Amino acid sequence: MLYDTIIIGGGPAGLSAAIHLAWHDRKVLVIDRRTGPLFFTLEKLYNVPGMPGVRGTELQKRLRNQAEEMGAEIVKDNVTAASGNEGDFVVTSTDDQEYQSKTILLATGVARYHPTVDGDHKPCFAYAGKGNMYYCPDCEAPEITGKDTLVIGAGPANWAAGMAIGLSRYASKLRVLLTGDTDLSETRAGQLQEKGIAVHAGKIMELVGKKGVLSAVQLENGTHLQAEAFFVSSQAIGRTDLAQKLGVEMAATGNHAQPKSQRGDTNVPGVWIAGDLRPMSQQVAVAMGTGNVAALMIDQHLRKQEVLP
């Protein structure tokens, strides 16, 4: 079957795009690994328009159900390769299954980096998106209003400092824990001191908490840091492997794909991008918006081809 559009990635961006395209009677296929963060996000999202307080898992379910009701086809698979040109793209999955389409929308998201606990990042899975361990200031900063908060730096020290300074308008008390890089610039160190934000350094050996709620981190040197909320400062790198295989231009940072315009089109004819893959924000509502805009543009693009003599 030749699809009008194959959407790679079934998060809020990909599913929002699928809803619009299927509503316009396009043959649309969503291929998703089902490993996106919303599949595991139990915390409530308060800034999704029209759905205040919806849990991430519930939002994911609603979007998927709506896309399928509109007629979109959704399959669980892992795309390993994409090639071809507009009108004749070929997408290949892990088991060598091939799918063909006229256009492609990449909504592959980002790879989020977690702090390591005794060298292993998996212990964070019990807390990320579950209760009081946050990653996205655009999405979650108001959650720490009036709370004693620890910013955990799992990347550059200056990033953690910058996050803490930005969060200082919300939290009642802030501290920074640098778990790797400790090279703070004089400017950042001065800003932290001015705001009374203490800085700790050391490797995390244990996360203390239960039922998704973190209460403290135990460091290698024996220090026990308690807090009411925890914010992680780390890299979130776009999953750009497929975009690069298709020849899509990368953003200046090299961590995300670069759209040609705010419509989500790229330098490769027939290829659009949406969601966290774009160098914008990880906010769910933004991802949904970029997915809808890209889908609208894809439909208009296909329609123009259909009406040309």
- The domains of the chain, with CATH numbers, are 2-111+236-307 (3.50.50.60), 114-233 (3.50.50.60)
Q: Span 58-82, mean pLDDT? A: 96
Mean of per-residue pLDDT scores for the chain: 94
Q: Span 59-77, mean pLDDT? A: 96
pLDDT of residue 157: 97
- Look at residues 31, 35, 36, 33 and name the one whose alpha carbon lies nearest to residue 90: 31
Most confident of 44-48, 67-71, 125-129: 67-71
Token readout for 101 is 């389409």
Q: Span 282-288, mean pLDDT? A: 93
The answer on pLDDT for 101 being more than 80 is yes
Reported as type and span, the H/E element at residue 215 is strand 213-219
- The three-class DSSP label of residue 55 is strand
Q: Span 24-43, mean pLDDT? A: 91
The answer on pLDDT for 187 being more than 90 is yes
The answer on pLDDT for 281 being more than 90 is no
The answer on pLDDT for 37 being more than 80 is yes
The answer on pLDDT for 42 being more than 90 is no
Report the C-alpha gap between 184 and 302 in whole angstroms. Answer: 51
- Look at residues 183, 242, 234 and name the one whose alpha carbon lies nearest to residue 204: 234
Going from the C-alpha of 200 to that of each of 123, 206, 218, 224, 274, the distances in angstroms are 21, 16, 12, 11, 38
Going from the C-alpha of 137 to that of each of 7, 133, 142, 165, the distances in angstroms are 28, 12, 8, 12
Q: Span 66-88, mean pLDDT? A: 96
Residue where the block lists tokens 């550059």: 156
- The three-class DSSP label of residue 126 is helix
Q: How confident is the model at residue 282 (pLDDT cuts 50, 70, 90)?
A: confident
Q: Span 270-294, mean pLDDT? A: 94
pLDDT of residue 176: 98
Q: How confident is the model at residue 274 (pLDDT cuts 50, 70, 90)?
A: very high
Q: How confident is the model at residue 191 (pLDDT cuts 50, 70, 90)?
A: very high
First to last CA, the chain: 25
pLDDT of residue 309: 61
Q: How confident is the model at residue 295 (pLDDT cuts 50, 70, 90)?
A: very high
Reported as type and span, the H/E element at residue 214 is strand 213-219
pLDDT of residue 236: 83
Q: Where are the extended beta strands (E) located within 60-132?
A: 73-76, 79-85, 88-93, 98-106, 110-112
Give the lowest-confidence range in 58-62, 206-210, 278-282.
278-282
Q: Do 22 and 67 form a contact (C-beta atoms < 8 A)?
A: yes
- Look at residues 43, 36, 65, 3 and name the one whose alpha carbon lies nearest to residue 275: 36
Q: Span 297-308, mean pLDDT? A: 92
Backbone angles phi, psi at 153, to 5 degrees: -85, 110
pLDDT of residue 55: 93
pTM metric for this prediction: 0.92
